[in-house]
Structure 1
Amino acid sequence: MPHSQAKVHRMFELIEAIGTITFSEVPDEAFRAVGMRNYWDGYFAGRAAPLGLAPAEVVHAVFYNFADGEVARHIPWVWGKITPEEAIAVRERGSAAAIRQQIGELAGSPGLVRIADLATRAAVSAPAEGRALYAGLRSLDVPEEPVARIWHAATLLREHRGDGHNALLLAHGIGGTEAHVLTALALGIKPAEFGRIHHLPRAQLTTVVDGLRARGLVAAAGGFTDAGRELRARIEVLTDDLAAPAYDVLSVAELDELIAGLTPISDALQPPVIRS
């Protein structure tokens, strides 16, 4: 790996902040304005749109970590209100608008074009094999406007990493809901109170936690065992390793420049608050 694991992981932190602006209030309102009933309609329409008119079963498989039936409550219903092409446009406009709103004068920075160029070079150079969502995104036109281009690049890099992460979860026998339980424990949150799974039936969550406990990953008191903590850490390191080839196209100096340019943008962004 030509770039250090620390720098690759730092890129993950930066693109996560920028890419997840998609799930914030401004894009949500843009989707509601074109007929989406709630936050999750817009979420699935926007994020699944690069896959085309894929059925709910395919979107469920690609997204990996949603409970059974959650995708089907929105797809294909959303495609009766908006086309995938329209959803892509709404998502891009709303996301870029949200970034501009939050970063203020940074949006007009003279160095933004250079950062957008570096981010895009990395984002379109990553290997697509086995990365269904990333491949769908890479088939889209790259926006010309710098803020939109930075968001698009961050989304590509985020989904490329996410596709690799899902493959590693599968290889280690960790299902989608199990992955959320492990994330909750890593954050010191009880699974029943964790945002992505708190709505699931308590009996279902109990079954998942009991299964992880039987595998020696969760302790009787509810926290990680040493084995569970080590497994999660190993998956995170391997995820960074699989994400690293995206940055091979950049020199050490260029990656340092990209990290430096994205840092103030990332720092200015607020984490999205999911609304129902």
Structure 2
Amino acid sequence: MSTAHTARRMHDLLEPICLVTYFADEPNEELAALGHRTYWDGYFASRAAPLGRVPAQVVHAAFYSFAEGEAARHIPSAWATIPPEDSFAAWRRGSVSALHRLLGAERVGSPATTRAADLLTEAAAGAPTEGRVMYAGMRTLPVPTDPLTRLWQSAATLREHRGDGHVTALLAERIGGTEAHILSALDMGIHPPETFGRVHHLPRARLAEVMAGLRHRGLVDDAGWLTDAGREVKARVEAVTDELAAPPYAALSTAELDELVAALEPLSVVMAAAWTP
């Protein structure tokens, strides 16, 4: 199995587990109990917390995919009365609680889940941090002792590692954050892409500017669909992302990777079903 294939396989297994943080009720309830007024206040306060009390411009740069000004609507105001570390702790606590509910006590308490947590923790600590801002921030956090919490935090750390590489791939192709969402929407068959949930709230003038730029580059046609050139760019971004996401898994032997995949597969299936309508 190639390193890129390994990275893609691990992404497919870990993403349904990571999505608990964004789709389940428990993290939002924990953040609301702290005093965060909206979902996005809690999101920015928690995800950016490992970076420390950096300015909104730094969060915007690290997150990459949000439109200009979106981070500034929440940072630093979301940290004004609630310390960043408290927000992150609540985010993690709610995420682990949701995992426990969805996976069930038997799966959570199994030796396979504990082993998966151990192997993921080893992988999550096994890659260089240079050029990986979000990953480096997550690496500064203490490793939890509870296996399920350790599994969640390691999965989230690996997700940020992959995200940092994805930003590099997008930059190399001169694709901005909003442009990336448009290309992803079209790749998923969403048309017009301006209706995609990650961008539909943006000003029409801004979306029109983005679409005009993609047409000018030949990535989108006059009808608003991907061209062959657009599909090639999207494929290159994904291929480079997979390649750049591979280093953490070099910390594991082939036998350990096989063991990790076998332990994660049943967990991933359950979590994927939770997000399927």
- The interval holding the TM-score normalised by the smaller chain is over 0.9
Q: Which amino acid aligns with 1:211?
A: G
Percent identical among aligned pairs is 56
Matched, 1:133 2:134: yes
Q: Which amino acid aligns with 1:116?
A: A
Q: Are the equivalent residues in 2 in contact too, given 1:23–1:272 (CA < 8 A)?
A: no
Between 1 and 2, higher relative CO (CA 8 Å, sep ≥ 6) is seen in 1
Residue 185 of structure 2: aligned partner: 184
Shift of 1:20: 2.3
CA deviations on 1:77-106 (whole Å, 9 max, x unpaired) are 111121111112111111111111111131
Segments of 5+ residues of structure 1 without an aligned counterpart are: none
CA deviations on 1:157-200 (whole Å, 9 max, x unpaired) are 00001001101111210000000000100111122211110111
Shift of 1:22: 1.2
Residue 50 of structure 1: aligned partner: 50
Q: Which runs of 4+ in 1 moved over 2 A?
A: 2-7, 270-273
Shift of 1:40: 0.4
**Structure 1 vs Structure 2 CA RMSD:** 1.4
Give the aligned length.
272
Q: Distance in 2 between matches of 1:157 and 1:9?
A: 12
Residue 204 of structure 2: aligned partner: 202
Residue 17 of structure 2: aligned partner: 18
Residue 173 of structure 1 aligns to a residue in which SS?
A: coil
Q: Distance in 2 between matches of 1:272 and 1:199?
A: 24
Give 1:10-89 correspondences, 5 Å limit. 10-24=9-23, 25-89=25-89
Q: Distance in 1 between matches of 2:73 and 2:29?
A: 20
Q: Which amino acid aligns with 1:121?
A: E
Q: Distance in 1 between matches of 2:225 and 2:161?
A: 30
Segments of 5+ residues of structure 2 without an aligned counterpart are: none
Q: Distance in 2 between matches of 1:66 and 1:8?
A: 25
Shift of 1:17: 1.5
Residue 189 of structure 1 aligns to a residue in which SS?
A: coil
Residue 275 of structure 2: aligned partner: 271
Residue 226 of structure 1: aligned partner: 228
Shift of 1:5: 2.7
